[in-house]
């Protein structure tokens, strides 16, 4: 049976460079040992240089969703938790699980803009604000510097920005961390760095957030740690792949527009498409293409398509054209 084309997880379709694979193999030879502190320090130093912040502001961890979960757990007890909808589902699920008071701000099509006034109206008590920027699944950039500055000016606000797709959007607020201790940013090496199977995330954070992880030692798997270090020493490879994916994203957007299918602009490695066909995801799967069904967060028949290799994107278009008849 032919393996389906999976365009559902926002992974990078290109493998990491050979030196990263070689480094991961070297890590496998150390499976009987915990990660060495010197290597963890090397990873932190590389992440510090890449993010442009002091090393002390970096907290690596086994995936950015893990770091987000710990933050929600630590801060949600005495604070209102504010998120946007739609949003990254694990964040929504953890907020629902831990928050004593949860507010979800709706992003409406076609622009999916976050209106700052909606935020200001909710800042009447201590709050934990979590915003993915760009947003998943819409691909929209929700925040600008003025909005972030206004948010962190509130001493009772803890602001977390998930920058999982920073390499595609180029939008970051990492340079504000040093002056604003109530700001934190989560990132990942899963996406642009081709390390989805390694599960390495990191936090760029002010003191209140870092205090949560004060006793936390990132005992990362040896293969993942070695791969992450090598990947951060090969940033140009990642940047080349990002350029290819962005060009493919724009090409796929044009082809979908040519089919008269509503598709939204994106600053990520995926596209949100609104087909109006309730079982569109299952019908595409029948034709060998797996996409993410986001109808539970967006309009009925909405799907999120990860940008794959050119031939994978063409196969998706062929399958969609067949469904559309």
Residues 229-276: tens digit of each pLDDT: 999 999 999 999 999 999 999 999 999 999 999 999 999 999 999 999
Q: Which helix (H) or strand (E) holds 24?
A: helix 18-28
Best CA proximity match to 75, nearest among 127, 117, 113, 147 = 127
Both tokens of residue 66?
Answer: 């893990």
Q: Taking 80 as the threshold, does the pLDDT of residue 279 lie above it?
A: yes
Look at 198 and 94; give whichever has higher pLDDT: 198
Q: Taking 90 as the threshold, does the pLDDT of residue 91 lie above it?
A: no
One domain, residues 269 and 299: yes
One domain, residues 141 and 220: yes
**Cα distance between the two ends of the chain:** 25
User: Which residue, of 179, 198, 233, is where some domain finishes?
Assistant: 233
Domain count, the chain: 2
Q: How many CB atoms lie within 10 A of CB 291?
A: 23
| 25-64: pLDDT as tens digits | 999 999 999 998 899 999 999 999 999 999 999 999 999 9
* Coil vs helix vs strand at 187: strand
pLDDT for the residue 289: 98
DSSP string, 128-162: EEEEESS-TTT------HHHHHHHHTSTTEEEEEE
CATH of the domain at 287: 3.90.1150.10
User: Which residue, of 209, 233, 257, is where some domain finishes?
Assistant: 233
Q: How many CB atoms lie within 10 A of CB 38?
A: 8
Q: What is the DSSP letter of 17?
A: P
| 172-193: pLDDT as tens digits | 999 999 999 999 999 999 999 9
Query: What residues make up the domain containing 133?
Result: 18-233
One domain, residues 249 and 187: no
Cα dihedral 98, 292, 134, 216, rounded to 10, equals 40
Query: Contact 201/189 with Cβ under 8 angstroms?
Result: yes
Mean pLDDT of 134-155: 97
């Amino acid at each position: 049976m032919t393996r389906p084309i999976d365009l559902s997880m926002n992974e990078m379709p290109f493998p990491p460079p050979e030196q990263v694979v070689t480094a991961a193999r070297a890590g496998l030879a150390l499976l009987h040992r915990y990660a060495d502190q010197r290597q963890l320090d090397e990873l932190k130093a590389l992440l510090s240089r890449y993010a442009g912040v002091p090393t002390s502001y970096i907290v690596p961890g086994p995936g950015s969703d893990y770091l987000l979960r710990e933050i929600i757990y630590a801060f949600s007890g005495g604070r209102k938790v504010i998120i946007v909808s739609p949003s990254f589902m694990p964040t929504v699920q953890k907020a629902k699980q831990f928050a004593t008071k949860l507010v979800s701000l709706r992003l409406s099509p076609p622009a999916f803009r976050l209106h700052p006034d909606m935020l200001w109206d909710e800042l009447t008590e201590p709050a934990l604000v979590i915003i993915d920027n760009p947003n998943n699944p819409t691909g929209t950039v929700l925040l600008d510097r003025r909005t972030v500055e206004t948010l962190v000016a509130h001493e009772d606000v803890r602001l977390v920005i998930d920058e999982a797709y920073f390499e595609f959007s180029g939008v970051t607020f990492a340079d504000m961390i040093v002056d604003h201790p109530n700001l934190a940013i989560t990132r990942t090496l899963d996406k642009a760095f081709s390390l989805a199977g390694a599960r390495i995330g990191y936090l760029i954070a002010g003191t209140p957030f870092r205090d949560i992880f004060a006793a936390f030692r990132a005992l990362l798997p040896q293969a993942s740690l070695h791969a992450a270090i090598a990947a951060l020493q090969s940033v140009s490879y990642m940047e080349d792949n990002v350029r290819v994916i962005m060009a493919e994203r724009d090409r796929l957007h044009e082809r979908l527009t040519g089919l008269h299918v509503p598709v939204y602009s994106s600053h990520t490695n995926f596209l949100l498409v609104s087909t109006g066909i309730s079982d569109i995801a299952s019908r595409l799967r029948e034709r060998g293409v797996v996409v993410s069904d986001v109808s539970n967060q967006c309009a009925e028949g909405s799907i999120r398509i990860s940008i794959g290799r050119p031939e994978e994107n063409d196969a998706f278009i062929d399958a969609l054209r067949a469904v559309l008849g």
